[in-house]
């Protein structure tokens, strides 16, 4: 392990606040440590000479420990940590509660704790933590009721109660762990630190976690992305925080909630997200024990027709597909299987199948080069011995080194077979969908581990000009900008149509005369967010109507809001909507992940259609390109129904340039380019809206 290696492998642990007092946390931790820990335990408590027969010291400074576990009451906990730091102890677990989770006094106490940790450069877990465990040394510095079994999953949880519940269940299932940590309030060490440490730990095969929030989203993405090149991470993320739901004035702000940020962020991080505890462990167990499939094609071998159909459905719902066997395999199947069976996938070897037939069929299927993985699916019959089938399944899985999922259906009679399978790392499920989900997780992780990352492109832009435009809101109450900030896009190399903003009808006509063909005219006012909603956009205005159109737009705006601040009217070149697609490119800031980019189908109906996709910025070219492929309407961009494909490379570049803009300027709180019209000849941003925080300029 990296820097945190000592935290999970101490030689000598000081328990500050150790006691035998019935029902106390200090007692529970002492009991757990005394029971199983291979190293030394030193109780620290000036009131006692010994605790559970172990000699105590009055002061942590006398403990000579390399890990301090703090269980004293909150008002003296920070001092105890400071004393530990002074004594040269680098690793501290603060179990004591009564910090940030309890209001303003607790919050300032937590602040002080963070400062002490910084001063002494401490690896500090908590506060408000259940503690930590590490099975190789029998270390159980928690106040939970059970120790963990040894294994190679490492587990972090933001909820201590969740750890005790999971351990109780896991011990029952025979599921073991390498390290377990209760993150508590994450005053110092957070999920990214543990992901980083476990990524370097040879004894950790899979990282799992239960998180309610992620402290530093971007840092987490960058760390996890490296780690998941070889160590899988599976997380349950609970709680939809509403912290991000400030009053949004952009489309992106309205659509992009914290869950979109998590989905995008965890995806970019390479994390496999589980929706439930069952999914978490189903995925973690196969990732821990099974090889990765070379391809995504599944063979299903079954003696039961109905469940065979269920598994086909489950495959259809997953990223996997049903394998097509080679002619060779089909011939061999025809020879070995009864005529009333089915040699195509799912392979139905019929209800009277004995062990030999089952074995032959699985052997042939796994031997087929088209097959990446297999499901052995069976209902109990009088001619089939489950334990023999389990032994054959294990042997053939090893022979071909392809992942196999087992679905031996039944109750009591399945148990010995299921145990034999489980010992060999093949979990058995009653439900075919769960078996398929396990294979799905393996396939997903293969793709994650093969990902390659390109750095975000840095375009040559005019940053100073952008800053000037953004500064125009300084000293104003209203910090929103509309099409009057069109030059901001221009400064970052995003194409905009010709045009200008004028404050008199005659000037409008002058601009229109310089533009070839009809023009578009729009009201320009920070008080009017969605211009077309009030009839504030006129498309296809010939020169002779420009004068009247100007007056009409201003009248409409006045009727809508008599005291509206009207800057003027924008006269703009027409873009070719007939051959184009209106898209939206936007950004909203998420409290945890920072700038969240949105791409989708645009125009005035974005919220209705909600065909959108998200990434945490900054994005690379390939990430930006993926966004253009992910929306449901992607075929429109590629040229559906005989239309020419639009300039997707131009869209991709616009996403990247916006990514650079919002990364350069944290002052941009939200921004929409809607629409970005994409045509076969290029892209044009015809409308922009943003909100600026001048204090961050």
Which residues of the chain form contacts with Mg ion (CB under 5 A)? 674, 687
Whether 39 and 69 have beta carbons less than 8 Å apart is answered as no
Whether 697 and 669 have beta carbons less than 8 Å apart is answered as no
Stretch near ligand ADP under the rule CB under 6 A, chosen from 111-119, 187-195, 462-470, 526-534? 526-534
Stretch near ligand ADP under the rule CB under 6 A, chosen from 63-71, 329-337, 455-463, 570-578? 570-578
Q: Indicate whether 606 belongs to the interface with ligand ADP (CB under 6 A).
A: no
Using the minimum distance from each CB to Mg ion, give the nearer residue, 398 or 533.
Answer: 533
Q: Alpha helices, DSSP H only, in 561-647?
A: 606-609, 621-630, 634-638
Q: Indicate whether 604 belongs to the interface with ligand ADP (CB under 6 A).
A: yes
Least Cβ distance, residue 474 to ligand ADP (angstroms) = 24
DSSP notation for 441-480: HHHHHHHHHT---PPPP-----HHHHHHHHHTTTT-S--E
Least Cβ distance, residue 531 to ligand ADP (angstroms) = 3
**Which of the listed partners (Mg ion, ligand ADP, none) does 361 bind, with a CB threshold of 5 to 8 Å by partner kind?**
none
Q: Indicate whether 409 belongs to the interface with ligand ADP (CB under 6 A).
A: no
Whether 522 and 553 have beta carbons less than 8 Å apart is answered as yes
Using the minimum distance from each CB to ligand ADP, give the nearer residue, 611 or 687.
Answer: 687
Q: Residue 600 half-sphere exposure, CB side, CA atoms within 13 Å?
A: 24
Using the minimum distance from each CB to ligand ADP, give the nearer residue, 107 or 577.
Answer: 577
Report the candidate in 660, 608, 609 with the shortest Cα–Cα distance to residue 631. 609
Q: Indicate whether 90 belongs to the interface with ligand ADP (CB under 6 A).
A: no
Q: Indicate whether 675 belongs to the interface with ligand ADP (CB under 6 A).
A: yes
**Which of the listed partners (ligand ADP, Mg ion, none) does 249 bind, with a CB threshold of 5 to 8 Å by partner kind?**
none
Whether 513 and 541 have beta carbons less than 8 Å apart is answered as no
* Binders of ligand ADP in range 502-521 (CB under 6 A): 520
Least Cβ distance, residue 245 to ligand ADP (angstroms) = 22
Stretch near ligand ADP under the rule CB under 6 A, chosen from 24-32, 170-178, 439-447, 573-581? 573-581
Rounded to 10°, the helix 74-86/104-119 angle is: 0
Tokens of 290: 């099974």
Least Cβ distance, residue 517 to ligand ADP (angstroms) = 11
Q: Alpha helices, DSSP H only, in 344-404?
A: 355-367, 386-400
Give the separation between CA 386 and CA 562, rounded to whole angstroms. Answer: 81
Tokens of 213: 């929030």
Least Cβ distance, residue 671 to ligand ADP (angstroms) = 13
What lies within 8 Å, CB to CB, of 67 at 6+ separation is 6, 7, 10, 12, 13, 14, 89, 91, 92, 93, 141
Q: Indicate whether 685 belongs to the interface with ligand ADP (CB under 6 A).
A: no
Number of residues binding to ligand ADP, judged by CB under 6 A: 19
**Which of the listed partners (Mg ion, ligand ADP, none) does 574 bind, with a CB threshold of 5 to 8 Å by partner kind?**
ligand ADP
Using the minimum distance from each CB to ligand ADP, give the nearer residue, 173 or 559.
Answer: 559
Using the minimum distance from each CB to ligand ADP, give the nearer residue, 69 or 581.
Answer: 581
Cα 92 to its chain centre, rounded Å, is 29
Give the separation between CA 49 and CA 618, rounded to whole angstroms. Answer: 58
What lies within 8 Å, CB to CB, of 349 at 6+ separation is 301, 302, 303, 337, 338, 341, 357, 358, 361
Using the minimum distance from each CB to Mg ion, give the nearer residue, 307 or 580.
Answer: 580
* Binders of ligand ADP in range 202-261 (CB under 6 A): none
Q: Indicate whether 449 belongs to the interface with ligand ADP (CB under 6 A).
A: no
Using the minimum distance from each CB to Mg ion, give the nearer residue, 345 or 583.
Answer: 583
Q: How many Cβ atoms from other residues are within 10 Å of residue 360's Cβ?
A: 19
Residue with tokens 């089939």: 384
593: left (phi over 0), alpha (psi -120 to 50) or beta: alpha
Stretch near ligand ADP under the rule CB under 6 A, chosen from 291-299, 413-421, 510-518, 575-583? 575-583
Using the minimum distance from each CB to ligand ADP, give the nearer residue, 233 or 688.
Answer: 688
Q: Indicate whether 643 belongs to the interface with ligand ADP (CB under 6 A).
A: no
Q: Indicate whether 687 belongs to the interface with ligand ADP (CB under 6 A).
A: yes
**Which H or E element spans position 596?**
strand 594-601
Using the minimum distance from each CB to Mg ion, give the nearer residue, 270 or 580.
Answer: 580
Q: Indicate whether 611 belongs to the interface with ligand ADP (CB under 6 A).
A: no
Stretch near ligand ADP under the rule CB under 6 A, chosen from 9-17, 258-266, 458-466, 572-580? 572-580
**Which of the listed partners (Mg ion, ligand ADP, none) does 12 bind, with a CB threshold of 5 to 8 Å by partner kind?**
none
Q: Indicate whether 522 belongs to the interface with ligand ADP (CB under 6 A).
A: yes
Strand order in the sheet with 233-237: 139-142, 131-134, 177-182, 150-157, 206-211, 233-237, 272-274
Using the minimum distance from each CB to Mg ion, give the nearer residue, 92 or 655.
Answer: 655
Q: Indicate whether 531 belongs to the interface with ligand ADP (CB under 6 A).
A: yes
* Binders of ligand ADP in range 469-498 (CB under 6 A): 497
Rounded to 10°, the helix 621-630/648-664 angle is: 120
Least Cβ distance, residue 542 to ligand ADP (angstroms) = 14
Give the separation between CA 128 and CA 142, rounded to whole angstroms. Answer: 12
Q: What is the CA radius of gyration of the chain?
A: 31
Using the minimum distance from each CB to Mg ion, give the nearer residue, 297 or 687.
Answer: 687
**Which of the listed partners (Mg ion, ligand ADP, none) does 603 bind, with a CB threshold of 5 to 8 Å by partner kind?**
ligand ADP
Tokens of 628: 């253009």
Least Cβ distance, residue 562 to ligand ADP (angstroms) = 20
Cα-based angle 321, 324, 329 (whole degrees, multiple of 5): 140
Q: Indicate whether 582 belongs to the interface with ligand ADP (CB under 6 A).
A: yes
Q: Indicate whether 535 belongs to the interface with ligand ADP (CB under 6 A).
A: no
Q: Alpha helices, DSSP H only, in 37-139?
A: 74-86, 104-119
Using the minimum distance from each CB to Mg ion, give the nearer residue, 160 or 602.
Answer: 602
**Which of the listed partners (ligand ADP, Mg ion, none) does 537 bind, with a CB threshold of 5 to 8 Å by partner kind?**
ligand ADP
Using the minimum distance from each CB to ligand ADP, give the nearer residue, 149 or 574.
Answer: 574
**DSSP-derived pairing of the beta strands 233-237 and 272-274:** parallel
Report the candidate in 159, 201, 174, 146 with the shortest Cα–Cα distance to residue 285. 174
Residue with tokens 């903003």: 501
Whether 651 and 610 have beta carbons less than 8 Å apart is answered as no
Tokens of 3: 């820097």
Stretch near ligand ADP under the rule CB under 6 A, chosen from 361-369, 382-390, 465-473, 574-582? 574-582
Options 97, 314, 537, 541; binder of ligand ADP; rule CB under 6 A: 537
Using the minimum distance from each CB to ligand ADP, give the nearer residue, 468 or 533.
Answer: 533
Options 295, 532, 543, 633; binder of ligand ADP; rule CB under 6 A: 532
Options 530, 556, 638, 643; binder of ligand ADP; rule CB under 6 A: 530
Give the separation between CA 170 and CA 175, rounded to whole angstroms. Answer: 5
- Which residues of this chain interact with ligand ADP, rule CB under 6 A? 497, 520, 522, 530-532, 537, 539, 572, 574-575, 577, 582, 603-604, 674-675, 686-687
């Amino acid at each position: 392990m990296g820097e945190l290696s000592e935290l999970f492998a101490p030689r000598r642990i000081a328990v500050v606040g150790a006691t035998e007092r019935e029902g106390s946390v200090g007692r529970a931790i002492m009991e757990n440590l005394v029971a199983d820990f291979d190293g030394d335990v030193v109780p620290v408590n000036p009131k006692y000479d010994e605790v559970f027969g172990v000699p105590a010291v009055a002061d942590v400074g006398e403990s000579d420990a390399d890990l301090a576990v703090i269980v004293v009451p909150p008002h003296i906990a920070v001092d105890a940590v400071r004393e530990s730091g002074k004594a040269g102890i680098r690793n501290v677990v603060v179990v004591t509660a009564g910090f940030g989770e309890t209001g303003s006094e607790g919050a300032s106490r937590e602040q002080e704790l963070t400062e002490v940790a910084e001063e002494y450069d401490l690896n500090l877990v908590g506060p408000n933590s259940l503690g930590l465990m590490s099975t190789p040394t029998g270390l159980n510095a928690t106040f939970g009721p059970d120790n963990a079994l040894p294994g190679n999953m490492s587990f972090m949880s933001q909820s201590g109660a969740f750890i005790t519940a999971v351990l109780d269940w896991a011990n029952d299932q025979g599921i073991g762990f390498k390290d377990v940590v209760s993150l508590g309030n994450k005053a110092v060490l957070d999920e990214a630190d543990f992901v980083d440490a476990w990524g370097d730990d040879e004894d950790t095969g899979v990282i799992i976690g239960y998180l309610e929030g992620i402290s530093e989203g971007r840092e987490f993405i960058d760390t996890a992305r490296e780690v998941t090149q070889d160590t899988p991470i599976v997380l349950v993320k609970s709680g939809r925080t509403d912290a991000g739901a400030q009053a949004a004035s952009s489309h992106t702000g309205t659509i992009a909630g914290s869950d979109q940020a998590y989905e995008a962020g965890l995806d970019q991080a390479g994390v496999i997200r589980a929706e439930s505890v069952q999914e978490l462990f189903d995925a973690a167990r196969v990732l821990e024990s099974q090889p990765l499939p070379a391809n995504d094609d599944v063979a299903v071998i079954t003696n039961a027709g109905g469940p065979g159909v269920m598994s086909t459905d489950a495959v259809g719902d997953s990223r996997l597909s049903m394998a097509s066997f080679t002619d060779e395999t089909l011939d061999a199947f025809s020879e070995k299987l009864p005529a009333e069976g089915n040699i195509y996938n799912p392979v139905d070897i019929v209800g009277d199948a004995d062990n030999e037939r089952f074995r032959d069929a699985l052997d042939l299927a796994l031997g087929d080069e088209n097959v990446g993985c297999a499901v052995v699916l069976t209902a109990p019959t009088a001619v089939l011995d489950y334990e023999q089938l389990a032994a054959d399944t294990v042997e053939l899985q090893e022979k071909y080194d392809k992942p196999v999922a087992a679905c031996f259906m039944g109750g009591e009679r399945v148990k010995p077979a299921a145990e034999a399978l489980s010992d060999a790392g093949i979990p058995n499920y009653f439900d075919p969908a769960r078996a398929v989900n396990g294979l799905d997780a393996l396939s997903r992780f293969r793709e994650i581990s093969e990902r390659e990352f390109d750095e975000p492109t840095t375009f040559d832009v005019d940053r100073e000009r952008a800053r000037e435009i953004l500064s125009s809101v300084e000293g104003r109450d209203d910090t929103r900008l509309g099409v009057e900030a069109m030059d901001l896009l221009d400064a970052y190399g995003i194409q905009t149509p010709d045009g200008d903003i004028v404050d008199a009808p005659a000037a409008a006509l002058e601009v229109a005369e310089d533009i070839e063909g009809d023009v578009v005219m729009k009201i320009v006012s920070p008080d009017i967010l969605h211009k077309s909603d009030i009839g504030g956009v006129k498309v296809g205005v010939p020169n002779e109507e420009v004068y009247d159109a100007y007056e009409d737009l201003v009248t409409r705006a006045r009727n809508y809001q008599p005291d509206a601040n009207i800057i003027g009217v924008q006269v703009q070149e027409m873009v070719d909507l007939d051959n184009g697609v209106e898209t939206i490119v936007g950004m909203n800031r998420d409290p945890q992940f920072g700038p969240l980019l949105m791409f989708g189908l645009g125009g005035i109906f974005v919220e209705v259609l909600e065909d959108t996709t998200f990434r945490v910025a900054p994005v690379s070219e390939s990430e930006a390109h993926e966004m253009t492929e992910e929306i449901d309407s992607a075929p429109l961009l590629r040229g559906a129904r005989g239309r020419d494909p639009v300039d997707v490379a131009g869209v991709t570049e616009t996403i990247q340039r916006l990514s650079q803009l919002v990364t350069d300027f944290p002052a941009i709180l939200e921004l929409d380019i809607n629409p970005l019209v994409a045509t076969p000849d290029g892209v044009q941003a015809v409308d922009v809206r943003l909100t600026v925080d001048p204090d961050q300029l």
